[in-house]
Structure 1
Amino acid sequence: MTPILPKADAADLVVAARIRRGLTWAQLAEELGAPLVWTTAALLGQHPMTRDQAAAVCRLLELDEAVAESLQLQPSRGSDPAAMSDPTVYRLLEALSVYGPALKELVHEEFGDGIMSAINFKVDIARRPDPDGDRVVITFDGKFLDYRW
């Protein structure tokens, strides 16, 4: 019996196949009928996919059953430290470092004592044209979870 392909290795194969076939993440998400950001995160190893989702994406990317099997595994969520220093990721961390305390205050003022769920959660990205240069719009949409004593 062979070991199950690690999710990071499956992600590398997905990325390579996507690039070599000239497909976008949006096309893969559309094929799966799933949200774009969720699909991308799942294919990079951050969410488990259903058997049908894994089979569909592997058919499209011409990847084997070992990749499909790996895509269905529960992940160890998080990022490797090298990924966190990527300029795009770092700028997102920087934005949360600057605005996180203000957002926390505003969440508490609006909703009370609690947190925004990152489990019952949706995230989206959009491009908005602007005369000074296109804008990146990232939306976090999480259920409010109040602390109960």
Structure 2
Amino acid sequence: MTPIMSKSEAADLVVSAKIRLGLSWQQIADVLDAPLVWATAALLGQHPMSDEQARKVCGLLELDETVAESLRLQPARGVDEELMSDPTIYRFVEAISVYGPALKELIHEEFGDGIMSAINFKVDIARRPDPDGDRVVVTFDGKFLDYRW
């Protein structure tokens, strides 16, 4: 019996196949009929895929059943210290460190005592042209969950 492939090993194979086949993340997400950011995160190991999604993407990327099996597994989510050295990821952490307390206060003022769900959640990325250089627009869209005492 073949041991289960780790999600990080599967992600490496997905990225290699994507490059080898000249596909974009958007093209892969379109085949999966899934949101771009969700599909990319799932293929990088942060979400479990359904059996149908895993089979479909492995067919597209010419990857075998061991990769599909890994893509169906529940992930171990958390902070990967190695990722913190990546400048793009670090900037997101930095932005939340600077603006997180203000966003928390504003959410509480607008909605009351509660949180924004990261489970009932959508995230999107877009490019916005700007004369000073294009802007990255990241949208977090989470359901408000009030604390119930």
Q: TM-score, structure 2 length as denominator?
A: 0.98
- Code of the residue aligned with 1:117 in structure 2: it is S
Are the counterparts in 2 of residues 17 and 61 from structure 1 also a CA contact under 8 Å?
yes
Residue 26 (str. 1) matches residue 26 (str. 2) = yes
Deviations 1:39-94 (A, max 9, x none): 00000000000111011111111000110111001110124211122000001111
Secondary structure of 1:81 counterpart: coil
Partner of 1:62: 62
Partner of 1:39: 39
Partner of 2:97: 97
- Where does 1:1-149 land on structure 2 (aligned, <5 Å)? 1-149=1-149
Are the counterparts in 2 of residues 49 and 73 from structure 1 also a CA contact under 8 Å?
yes
For 1:26 and 1:79, locate their aligned partners in 2 and report how far apart those are by CA, in whole Å.
Answer: 25
For 1:79 and 1:73, locate their aligned partners in 2 and report how far apart those are by CA, in whole Å.
Answer: 18
For 2:75 and 2:84, locate their aligned partners in 1 and report how far apart those are by CA, in whole Å.
Answer: 18
Cα RMSD between the aligned structures?
0.7
Secondary structure of 1:76 counterpart: coil
Number of residue pairs matched by the alignment:
149
- Code of the residue aligned with 1:16 in structure 2: it is S
- Code of the residue aligned with 1:138 in structure 2: it is V
- Deviation of the 1:112 alpha carbon: 0.3
- Deviation of the 1:5 alpha carbon: 0.8
Unaligned runs of 5+ in 1: none
For 2:78 and 2:43, locate their aligned partners in 1 and report how far apart those are by CA, in whole Å.
Answer: 14
For 1:66 and 1:116, locate their aligned partners in 2 and report how far apart those are by CA, in whole Å.
Answer: 36
Deviations 1:10-60 (A, max 9, x none): 000000100111111111000100000000000000000011101111111
For 1:23 and 1:112, locate their aligned partners in 2 and report how far apart those are by CA, in whole Å.
Answer: 44
- Code of the residue aligned with 1:147 in structure 2: it is Y
Q: TM-score, structure 1 length as denominator?
A: 0.98
- Code of the residue aligned with 2:57 in structure 1: it is V
- Code of the residue aligned with 2:52 in structure 1: it is D
Are the counterparts in 2 of residues 46 and 78 from structure 1 also a CA contact under 8 Å?
no
Unaligned runs of 5+ in 2: none
Deviations 1:74-130 (A, max 9, x none): 110124211122000001111111111110010000000000000010100000111
